[in-house]
Structure 1
Amino acid sequence: METGIRFRMATAKDLESIVSMLADDVLGSKRERYDHPLPNSYLKAFEAITSDPNNELVVACDGNEVIGVQQITFTPYITHQGGWRATIEGVRTSASVRGKGVGTELIKWAISRAEERGCHLVQLTTDKKREDALRFYERLGFKATHEGLKLKL
């Protein structure tokens, strides 16, 4: 991918593109609703994220086209001497640019942003069914050091 990618905070106008990317895979197609108009729940989530100074919804753009997205949450912890962590979630790239380095640039941008915010650690999760994603994150230096658990409510 050319270095013409730029990163910026998402706006409400980006929601349709974001949800489209989230829904455009086997797992996402089962849990997202890419309807027209979008369900209001996406706008409510967007407003909650953008009103919280410890959450950032970031898009990667090629010109005016949104080609990638990720959410970064900054969390203070009492452990590690009261350090901060950055959690990367919801990383997706447009099908048209997969395999062209956009995902790598997104993650590198997130790591840099975490450093700017004084974080001592960057963490992320990926579904165990996403074997390609796991290999991708490991190539970028992430290590599977913990077992994650979820309780669906």
Structure 2
Amino acid sequence: MVIAYRDAVEADLPAIVALLADDELGAEREDVAAPLVASYVDAFHAIAATHHLRLIVAVDGERIVGTMQFLLIPGLSSRGSWHGQIEAVRIAADLRGQGQGEAFVRWAIEQCRLAGCASVQLVSHESRRAAHRFWRKLGFVPSHVGFKLHL
């Protein structure tokens, strides 16, 4: 298996949404019905138009086996440092535990490093205990408390 990483194209959206829906939390909030609701297409176009924001897919041949978003954030804190933000990381269920997720995240970290980021950050839902172990294994530390307001 040779996994490649590339920027997503609109035709990838059904596979990306299916990956996002493939866990307890995602199953509650995603809609995989075909055709996809327009808000997914609108979001894709907004992502594509946003400088420093990338929607990435991991592909094995023609099959999309993973997805993530990452954002390069300029900031004034830490002496004007840039920071990477990783979001919505998913690997196909049949490939989990085989190192594909680790390789994918390490690739994203390297992209952030090459862009000059001083750090890489992420948030993970408090119920995702296995994900927390995964992030710690990669060197991430739970250094902040996050808050969210649903609108």
TM over 0.5: yes
2:128 to 127, 130, 139: 130
- Partner Cα separation in structure 2 for residue 32 and residue 95 of structure 1: 16
SS in 1 for 2:127: coil
Spell out structure 1 runs of 4+ moving beyond 6 A.
none
Q: Aligned partners of 1:116 and 1:53: how far apart in 2? A: 16
Count of paired positions: 151
Separation (CA, whole Å) in 2 of partners of 1:105 and 1:91? 12
The Cα shift of 1:137 comes to 0.4
Match of residue 138 from structure 2: 140
- Structure 2 gaps of 5+ residues are none
For residue 24 of structure 2, give the secondary structure of its aligned residue in structure 1.
coil
1:91 is the counterpart of 2:76: no
Q: Counterparts of 2:110 and 2:7 in 1: how far apart (Å)?
A: 15
Residue 105 of structure 1: how far off its partner (Å):
1.1
> Which digits, 9 at most, give the CA deviation of each residue in 1:44-92, with x for residues without a partner?
1010101112100011011111000000011111101111111000000
Name the CA distance, whole Å, in 2 between partners of 1:148 and 1:105.
26
Q: Which residue of 2 aligns with 1:152?
A: 150
- Give the structure 2 partner of residue 68 of structure 1: 66
Q: Measure, in 1, the Cα distance between the counterparts of 2:108 and 2:144.
A: 21
Cα distance, 1:151 vs. partner?
1.2
In the alignment, the residues of structure 1 paired with residue 144 and residue 91 of structure 2 have an alpha-carbon distance, to the nearest angstrom, of 26
Q: CA deviation at 1:14?
A: 0.6
**Under a length normalisation based on structure 1, what TM-score does the superposition of the two structures give?**
0.96
Gaps of 5+ in 1: none
Q: State the match for 2:112 in structure 1.
A: 114
Aligned mates of 1:59, 1:102 — CA distance in 2: 12
Report the Cα distance in structure 2 between the residues aligned to 1:85 and 1:147, rounded to whole angstroms: 17
Residue type of the alignment partner of 2:5? F
Alpha-carbon RMSD across the aligned residues, in angstroms, is 0.8
Q: Does 1:57 align with 2:66?
A: no
